[in-house]
Amino acid sequence: MDRREFLGSVVAAGALPLGQRGTGSTSGAHAGRDRDYWIDVLRRLADPVLTNLANGTLKARMPVEQAAGSDRGAVTHLEALGRLTTGIAPWIELAADDNDEGRLRRRYASLARQAIARAVDPSSPDFLNFTRERQPLVDAAFLAQGVLRAPRALRDGLDPDAKRHLVAALESTRRITPGFNNWLLFSATVEACLNALGAWWDRTRVDYALRQHDQWYKGDGAYGDGPDFHWDYYNSFVIHPMLVDVLAVCKEESTAWKELANRVEGRAKRYAAVQERLIAPDGSFPPIGRSIAYRCGAFHLLAQSALRRALPDGVAPAQIRSALTAVIRRTLDAPGTFDEHGWLRIGLCGHQPGIGETYISTGSLYLCSVALLPLGLPASDEFWSAPAEPWTSAKAWSGQPFPIDHAL
């Protein structure tokens, strides 16, 4: 099967954008339509969260879907903001070109700043919870990660009062003790962001998280979630992306951290290679482990690697674009994914409330936005401009030559 036949086969499975169906073509125009589709997805995710929060109506209007017997109302709104922000931050960080997309970026960057300002202002009706229960540490960290990913648009773009309130909100999470697992990285990411904001930051919390995860490395690109290995997607949801982002900000502060950064980079490349091979020809992937209601967010690390131009050797950016497009379509285009007002609903492929653990609620689901990180690359980048390419699984299961895998 050649590339044209491959494209026809995945079109039939619904893995390519509507604009490509029935053509089998690999022209640059189709690559451009991929970007348009991703931006449409970003807007669909962002609009209800950012618009309501900017207007001070998030708590009043956001539904809270959750497992029976759970009570996530006090934490779900910060989940929505933090997780959405870390996913869209690289896109709004791009300069606002004088074209349709550039104008959109300018509008969404402004909305994001307004939303953050409302969320951290104690006088706002949508002042969010950063201290009650344990969950706010997690989503303060995702918000902090978003600020790190958009230094111009968010870190420097916030007005002085909003920045002061943000610093106070992040500092307030120190009263929450992280678990002895991936949660150490939430504390470290908060501290890294405080460093970037010019506030006092606790180097010990950063050092502890980095050293423990180095000790918890299990081999072949995978870390334990704490001392034990968990066969789930937390190496991608949290561990690799936060290690990479914390060290990007802090590694020059310590010789030991700088040396660790080299190991972290190599491990992340290996895990990205594994992730690319997990994507089936139809955009599906194994529904294993916790938190699969985060949908395409399971490929946070692969998307981050593409954004950073740090893909494994022999993996073309265009094949990652094609693979991620298939995953996004598979997990976000299914009927029932959104409610009648545009809010995400619990599920992996459509509405499947039974897969929501007790810590899952409407706000949690917005971690799917991290699959969109490569929108932070300009449209001229090879990731977007090159013709579509089959990914490894698509090659393997269509009879094409494909490279065998090797452990790190």
**CA angle in degrees (0–180, nearest 5) for 301-136-234:** 25
Give the start-to-end residue ranges of the domains of the chain.
3-396
In angstroms, the CA 114 to CA 110 distance is 6
| Reported pTM | 0.93
Output the six-digit token pair for 346: 């619990």
Q: What pLDDT, on a 0 to 100 scale, did the predictor assign at position 193?
A: 98
pLDDT, tens only, 192-203? 999 999 999 999
The confidence band for 95, taking pLDDT boundaries of 50, 70 and 90, is: confident
What stretches of 204-264 adopt beta strand conformation (E)?
Answer: 217-219, 222-223
pLDDT, tens only, 334-360? 999 999 999 999 999 999 999 999 999
In the predicted model, what is the mean pLDDT of residues 369-392? 98
Least confident segment among 21-35, 155-169, 351-365, 375-389: 21-35
**For residue 149, which phi and psi values (nearest 5 degrees)?**
-85, -10
What stretches of 188-327 adopt beta strand conformation (E)?
Answer: 217-219, 222-223
Q: What pLDDT, on a 0 to 100 scale, did the predictor assign at position 30?
A: 65
3-396: CATH topology is: Glycosyltransferase (1.50.10)
Answer yes or no: is pLDDT of 8 > 80.
Answer: no
Q: What percent of the chain has pLDDT over 70?
A: 92
For residues 150 and 200, is the Cβ–Cβ distance under 8 A?
no
pLDDT, tens only, 212-267? 999 999 999 999 999 999 999 999 999 999 999 999 999 999 999 999 999 999 99
Answer yes or no: is pLDDT of 165 > 90.
Answer: yes
Answer yes or no: is pLDDT of 160 > 80.
Answer: yes
Q: What pLDDT, on a 0 to 100 scale, did the predictor assign at position 97?
A: 86
Mean pLDDT of the chain: 93
pLDDT, tens only, 11-54? 444 444 333 333 233 345 567 899 999 999 999 999 999 999 99
